[in-house]
Chain A
Amino acid sequence: MARIVLNNIAHRYGAVTARSATQSTDDAAAYALKPLSHAWEDGGAYALLGPSGCGKTTLLNIISGLVTPSQGQLFFDDTDVSQLPTEQRNIAQVFQFPVLYDTMTVAENLAFPLRNRRGINKLGDAEIKQRVADAITMLGLEKLAHQKARGLSADDKQKISLGRGLVRTDVNAILFDEPLTVIDPHLKWQLRTQLKQIHRQFGHTMIYVTHDQTEALTFADKVVVMLAGEVIQTGTPEDLFKHPLHTFVGKFIGSPGMNILRCELDGNEAIVDTFRIALPCHYPALPGTIELGIRPEFIRIVNQGEGMPVTISAIEDIGRYRIVRALLGSQHLDIVVPEAVAIPGNAAVVFETGNIGIYHNSRLVNSNNSNTGVS
């Protein structure tokens, strides 16, 4: 187990020829991963969250050594592993689609990474047997242990792929690349909580790549949100939910995502269309685009006259709560209404002042000049 440090790592795809290496590197669009320094603490459960093509898988493959970055260094604790091949990095990785050795039984598949060890890391047969048996129990694969891996269901296959990572109890880190994509919703719950328990039990450093916010937030202690090859925000699920630093994070996390309303600032009030909305603190006037962000969960729906009037365009009842799609002036607004709350015919809304964020050119304006605001 180790602390993993990225030091100014960046990557561009395509062959790095002498010519392209001498070309100016400021062509940012060409980067699959923009220069990044980041530390993954030992034993942390991380999620790398972002839309497809944001560079999250590239980053994961750089850590495991499947991709050699165009620049920068990678450290496991104090050792520079940038030049080490994958086999020597002692990393486990689980891929989006199940990867199995067809000719082996389930148990042999699980034992495979252990049997490949050479030299001082070589394991005895008894040790291997024990670890495989543990993994089989952990994943509930007892019945399949001696079946050939070929011909199992997609769910079971992916469990075995997971298992091949989990048998290696002394790895530096376990990396997951959207591992639950092919899994049915009900089993997803089960596997996700199992992963969490395993993390708690063994304390591996785990990095979990996904585009699914639910998976990222529920799995990770710390979520790293990426967009276009760049890390936009790193934080706990609560941080990301309550204080997104970027409108992208606000929209990407939460379903429905954060409402982003164009506005103007006037001291401690924001003006959205014709409505004046109280803000948690005083904001200076800023040039550029100003937006007000508020989550649908922090908007209360009230009777007309008690708040800003809205026109409801649709109500989606999803059982646990309802999503009200509405127009505030000319701007679209999503509101989450809990099961027990009735929606009046002539509705108005009230924003919870403490949960409003102001964004300047898509980035959160720091409100540390106030003691009532978000921290």
Chain B
Amino acid sequence: MLELLNVSTRVGNQQHIQDVSLQLHPGTLNVLLGATLSGKTTLMRLMAGLETPDTGEVRFNGVNVRGIPVQKRDVAMVYQQFINYPSLTVYENIASPLRVAGLDKATIKQRVHEAAELLRLTDYLQRLPADLSGGQQQRTALARALVKQAKLVLLDEPLANLDYKLREELRRELPGIFAKTGAILVYASTEPSEALLLGGNTATLHEGRLTQFGPAIEVFQRPVDLQTARIFSDPPLNTLLVSKQGAELRCDALVMTLPVDNADAAQLPDGQYTLAIRPWHLLLDVPPQLEKQTTEKQTTHARINAHVEVTEITGSETYVHVRLQGAQTQRWVALLHGVKDLPADSPVQLAIDPAQIYLFDSHGQRCLTPPQREDV
């Protein structure tokens, strides 16, 4: 088990990592999710022992690892850039950590072939990295990390430099490849969808602080604070400042009645809140002159008026970027099913189901979550 206990680092006056505590268990996949410079790489360097915390401890299986050199820590790391030995063949590249470990030839051969098989590199073993595609080069780097059978495997945005489709493919394979080794897998990413697709646990980072840690879908559905919700949203989360008076949420752009059946909502004190809603929970209610067929009218839905800025059509869905009426600076995005080519500057009315909103208090703490979906 890898434990970070109140770990902090600073460079000059700048706090890089602020009081991070985290427990990672063998056999788990843990995604560090955050924007560029949010501290993902620093945190990984701390875990690897490439950096030492100013305060706090990094423990591996209960032992403080301070002072233990990186070479002895049983760590494998894969970077965003495809890092292989350029003069060695794929086989020799994969074999390199085993040679360092001083294994015998037969074992090396067997392990390399196993890893190559798993990462579909068997046909390329005799090639040099320069003769491989980007995807194959990164597979080689991954294979090298795999054969090492390290107890801690750190992957720093390993797919960022790959083609979109290759990324999809490798992302699906990755958890399975490392699952058998029982290693602690740590994976840094800037993309929320990647964290969800990989599954496992997600730790959200913001400016060197750990905002939340838990199973990916749980963090996604029940973010503890606004910052976490923002980090874990792609497309961006729609937010609006509202004030609560009794069962009503109000601001210049919106009046909404809180769902009566939600116990949490009933207990909230009056005051200022940030309302947040996911883009795909916004429904389009277009004035009849633009589209005759309107979505089903639900009286409980709150309405919000807006002007279209730009629409983006993906083929099956439409992202409508709008400016809210009554809150001009607020830009929202709605993700609608199907192709809806709305002209720019045309007025739209968006419908919000009160059951789907999040509320965050003035400190950014979550106070209201949409009810959980019943699943099998």
Contact = CB atoms under 8 A, between A and B. Distances in A.
A239 B235 CA distance: 23
Q: Sort chain B's interface into a size bin.
A: 35 or more
* Most interface-central of A237, A239, A253, A343 (chain B CB within 10 A): A237
B295 interface: no
Contacts of A186: 35, 230, 234, 236
Contact of B196 (A253, A254, A317): A317
A238 B315 contact: yes
Interface string B59-82: 000000000000000000000000
Interface stretch (B50-58, B145-153, B305-313, B361-369): B305-313
B164 A211 contact: yes
B313 A219 contact: no
A217 B318 CA distance: 10
A342 B166 CA distance: 30
B339 to A, nearest CB: 5
B278 interface: yes
Given A211-B165, A342-B376, A319 B217 contact: yes
B373 A339 contact: yes
A52 B196 contact: no
Interface residues of A, number: 49
Interface in B145-195: 163-166, 168, 190-193
A326 interface: no
B354 interface: no
Contact of B312 (A153, A219, A339): A219
Contact of B168 (A193, A236, A255, A320): A255
Given A297-B316, A344-B376, A193 B310 contact: yes
A240 B315 contact: yes
B199 A189 contact: no
Contact of B133 (A53, A184, A197, A297): A53
A158 B138 CA distance: 26
Given A52-B163, A197-B309, A211-B163, A189 B217 contact: no
* Most interface-central of B35, B37, B314, B315 (chain A CB within 10 A): B315
B375 interface: yes
Contacts of A15: none
A238 B133 contact: no
A213 interface: yes
A339 B196 CA distance: 14
B133 A52 contact: yes
Given A52-B134, A184-B190, A253-B315, A238 B339 contact: yes
Contact of A254 (B163, B315, B339, B344): B315
Contacts of A297: 316
B139 interface: no
Nearest to A317: B217
A200 interface: yes
A287 interface: no
Given A53-B133, A317-B196, A318-B196, A217 B165 contact: no
Contact of B164 (A154, A196, A213, A236): A213
Interface of A: 51-53, 153-155, 184-186, 189, 192-193, 196-197, 200, 211-214, 217-219, 236-242, 251-257, 295, 297, 316-320, 339-340, 342-345
8 contacts: A51-B163, A52-B163, A184-B35, A189-B236, A211-B165, A295-B316, A319-B217, A339-B280
Interface of B: 35-37, 133-134, 163-166, 168, 190-193, 196-197, 199, 217, 220-221, 230, 234-236, 278, 280, 309-310, 312-316, 319, 321, 333, 335, 339, 344, 373-376
